[in-house]
């Protein structure tokens, strides 16, 4: 079954290195929490808040060895008073996990975005 898993992380600064490091942390958390095998991934979609433009989060593809997986980056709509420097991701992958067993990963301060989703990350 094709499932989607979501996650988010706040980046320290609009800096290419910081963006890639944060994206890698987020992706590794999703991969580990959901036992994601890159061979089962259909696509990865990233969004960033308008204040992040130093690089694409998709630059992480080589670091996690997902070179042939389709990645797409887009900008979030600029909602007034929204959290700043946020990377969000949606990974579409084949899994036998039921929807309620998917472990979304909202790391650090981004847990405020989805307090209804419990995870063990920090």
Residues noted as catalytic? 6, 61, 73, 76, 88, 106, 114
CB distance 106 to 121 below 8 Å: yes
C-alpha distance from residue 122 to each of 44, 104, 106 (Å): 22, 13, 8
Instruction: Give one word for 65, left, alpha or beta, with left for phi > 0 and alpha for psi -120 to 50.
Output: left
CA gap 25, 95 in Å, rounded: 22
- Tokens 């079954």 — which residue? 1
103 within 8 A of 97, measured Cβ to Cβ: no
């Amino acid at each position: 079954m094709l499932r989607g898993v979501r996650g988010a992380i706040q980046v320290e600064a609009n800096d290419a290195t910081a963006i890639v490091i944060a994206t890698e942390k987020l992706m590794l958390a999703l991969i580990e929490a959901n036992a994601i095998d890159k061979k089962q991934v259909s696509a990865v979609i990233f969004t960033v808040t308008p204040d992040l433009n130093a690089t694409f989060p998709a630059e992480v593809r080589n670091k996690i060895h997902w070179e042939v997986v389709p990645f797409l980056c887009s900008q979030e709509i600029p909602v007034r008073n929204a959290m700043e420097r946020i990377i969000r991701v949606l990974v579409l992958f084949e899994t036998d996990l039921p929807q309620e067993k998917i472990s979304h990963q909202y790391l650090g301060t981004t847990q405020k975005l989805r307090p209804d989703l419990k995870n063990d990350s920090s």
